[in-house]
């Protein structure tokens, strides 16, 4: 499929919305409500599929509406998921903490396990800071064949 050209909701479930930001050329994940290991894994797999399908390699991972603890997913994210999404071409991921302390603990657990060379990810407490950082990254890290 060609690149999405209009503002589009790509995925909509009770636990997550995934949309395309046409101005900035990135995918925005809006995690909603209580998250579980299962919802985090499902949402991440949808992100990977949509990123490749729409050729969008920058991600704004928004946890401002996320609740709960999903710390059990940290090893899967660090050692399974992030290496796969990096191989698929991810340029960078700006993670925005939400107000839920349990969600912050879960995100930090995954980030601490992540080898620094695996993926370009930064965590932020402010959405504006995350957007600025993500805007400075190249559109794609994919190497020409």
pLDDT of 3 above 60: no
Weakest-pLDDT range from 7-16, 40-49, 96-105, 113-122: 113-122
pLDDT at 143: 45
As a whole number of angstroms, the distance between CA 105 and CA 88 comes to 27
pLDDT at 60: 97
What does each C-alpha distance from 70 to 37, 104, 115, 119 come to in angstroms?
5, 10, 20, 20
**Residues sharing a CB contact under 8 Å with residue 10, sequence separation 6 or more, in sequence order:** 4, 18, 19, 20, 27, 50, 54
pLDDT of 10 above 90: yes
pLDDT at 114: 85
As a whole number of angstroms, the distance between CA 33 and CA 14 comes to 8
* Cα 28 off chain centre by: 7
Q: Which pLDDT tens digit goes with each residue over 68-101?
A: 999 999 999 999 999 999 999 999 999 999 998 9
Q: Which pLDDT tens digit goes with each residue over 100-143?
A: 899 999 999 999 998 776 679 999 999 999 999 999 998 765 54
């Amino acid at each position: 499929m060609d690149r999405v050209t209009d503002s589009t909701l790509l995925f909509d479930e009770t636990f997550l919305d995934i949309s395309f930001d046409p101005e900035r050329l990135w995918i925005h994940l809006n995690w909603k409500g209580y998250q579980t290991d299962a919802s985090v894994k499902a949402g991440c797999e949808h992100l990977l599929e949509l990123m490749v399908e729409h050729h969008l390699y920058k991600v704004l991972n928004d946890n401002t509406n996320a609740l709960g603890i999903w710390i059990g997913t940290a090893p899967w994210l660090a050692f399974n998921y992030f290496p796969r999404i990096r191989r698929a071409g991810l340029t960078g991921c700006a993670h925005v903490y939400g107000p839920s302390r349990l969600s912050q603990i879960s995100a930090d657990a995954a980030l601490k396990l992540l080898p620094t060379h695996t993926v370009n990810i930064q965590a932020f407490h402010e959405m504006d800071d995350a957007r600025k950082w993500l805007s400075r990254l190249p559109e794609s890290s994919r190497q020409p064949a």
